[in-house]
Structure 1
Amino acid sequence: MKMSRFLFLAFIGALLFVLQAANAQRPVEEEVKRVYHVADSLYKLEDSHKALDTLLSVLPDFNEFHNDSLESKVLGLFGHLQKNMGNDTVGIGKFMQGLKSRQLRKYLNAVEAMGLYFERREHYTKALSYYKKMILFARTLNDTLKLGEGYFKTGKMFKALLNFPKANQYFNEALIYYKSSNAQQQIIKLYNQLGDMSAEMGQPDSAKIFFRKAISFARNTESATSRIIAYHRLAIIAGDNGNFNEALIYYENSKELATQKEPKYLPSIYFDLASFFEKFGKTGKAEKAYKESMIYAAEYNNTAIQINAAKKLAELYALKNMNSRAVKYYQLSIMLADSMQQINSIQEMARFEARYNLMQKEQEIALLDRERKLKAVKLKNQELRSKLYIGGLILLALLAAVLFYHIVTHIKKNRLLSEQNAKINEQNEELSQINQQLSESENHLMQALSTKNKLFAIIGHDLKSPLMDIKNLIFILKNNAGQFGKDALKNHTGQIENRLISLLELLNNLLNWGMTERDALKYTPQKVDLVQLISKTIRLFDGMTANKNISVRSNLPESISWYTDFNMMEFVLRNVLSNAIKFSEKDSQIDITATLDYDRLYISIADYGMGMTRDQLKKVFDRTSEKVRAGTQNEKGTGLGMSLTYEFVKQMNGVIDIDSRPNKGTRVEITFEANDKRAIH
Structure 2
Amino acid sequence: MIRITHLIILLTFIGFYQFSIVIYAQENIDSLIALQSQKDGKERISLLIKIGYYLSSDNPKEAIQYLDEAISLSEKLNLQGRKADALFNKGVALWHQGNIQESENYYIQAKSIYETLNDTLSLIKLYNSEAINYSMRGRSDIALEMFLKSLDYAFRINDRPTIFNTLFNIGIVFDNRGELDKAIEHYHKALQFADDKGSKALVENYLAEIYLTRRDLKKAEEFLNSAILNAESSNDINSLIWSYTNLGTLNLEKGNFNEAEKKFLSALELSRKSDYKLDIIHALTELGRFYFKTKKSNLAEEHLLEAFELAKQVNSVQDLSSVTSVLKDVYADLNNYKKAFEFLQLNKQYSDTLQAINQNEKILEIETKYAVKQKEKEAELLKSENELQKKVIETQKIIAILVSILGLVLVILLWLMVRNRKRILAAQKDLLIKNEEIEMSRKEITAKNRELEVLNSTKDKFFSIIAHDLRNPIAGFVSISDLLETDYDRISDQEKKSLLSQMNNSSKNLIALLENLLTWARLSSNKIEIVKSKSTLSELVRSAVNPYEHWAKSKRVNLSIEIPEDKKIETDPFIFQTVVGNLVNNAIKFSNSGDTVNVNTKIENGTLKLSVKDNGVGIPEHRLKNIFGFDNKKTTKGTMNESGTGLGLVLVKELSDKMNWKIEVHSKPQLGSEFILNIADN
State TM-score, norm by structure 1. Answer: 0.48
Question: Rg larger in 1 or in 2?
Answer: 1
